[in-house]
Every structure is written in C-alpha cells, then in structure tokens.
Amino acid sequence: MDAGAGSCNACGAVGTALMKLSLGKDFFGRAYDRLSPSSDQSPKWYCEPCSMQKNLQRDFRDIRAEFEKLTAGQISELSQTETFQRAALRLREIAAILGATSHQSPFLAAPDVAHLIGRFQTTTMQA
Ligand SMILES: [Zn+2]
C-alpha cells in the first residue's frame, strides 16, 4: 500500500485500497522482464477490480502473442496441444469474467477476447 499514488492508475478510483501489481510468471510460466528492478521504474497502482483485469489483460496478451506466432508458422508455446487447450480455456474464463463485471477498465475489450476465441476455434477445427 502506497500513499503516494492516491488513485487507481487505470480508472482513477480514489478512497479504495490500491495495490501494486504483483510481478510473477506469465501464463506460460515465463518470468516477466520487468521483474528486474532496473526496468520497474514506474510502478502502477491499481484498485482491486482494475488489478484483476490487468492480470486478465496480461494473460490475454501473452496468449494472443503466442497465437500469432503459431499462425505464422513460428515456434510457439501453443504448438503443444495441451498448452493450446489450456489457453483456449483461459480465454473462455477471461470472457466469462469480463461478462460478469460491471467495472469499466481500459485494459480489455470483450469483443477482442471473443474474436480471439473465434480464431482459436477455427484453428482447432483445422487440426
Ligand atoms: Zn481502478
């Protein structure tokens, strides 16, 4: 908890508990680059709903990036069927959570998630 920020860096909420986004492993178990202190110069503080959605956005971005590699014929985490299915499940989970929340955050647009789910399904059918 940091008193210096005062408001959520995403939605601007004040008077609520703010948390610095915890750094850890990404969806594919890789460490984030900004785990190193030198690259963590501008920490962001988020209220709880934004923090949650930021995590969803991170997973979504990671999955989308690997999916782009896969469709481009490059080496991808999603080349493994098990990982691909896990990612597909996670996308559905993200869509469900987004659909259930009324909290507006700038991180994720539900249509983007739905679009990627559609592309996943197309790819599955071709396999
Ligand atoms: Zn917020």
pTM of the predicted structure, to 2 decimals: 0.79
- Residue 44 Cα to ligand 1 midpoint, Å, equals 11
**pLDDT tens track for 77-124:** 999 999 999 999 999 999 999 988 888 777 888 899 999 999 999 986
Residues with CB under 5 A from ligand 1 (ion): 8, 10-11, 13, 47, 50
- Residue 14 Cα to ligand 1 midpoint, Å, equals 8
Q: What is the largest CA-CA distance in the chain?
A: 52
Residue 126 has pLDDT above 70, yes or no: no
**pLDDT tens track for 38-89:** 444 456 788 888 888 888 998 999 999 999 999 999 999 999 999 999 999 9
- Residue 124 Cα to ligand 1 midpoint, Å, equals 36
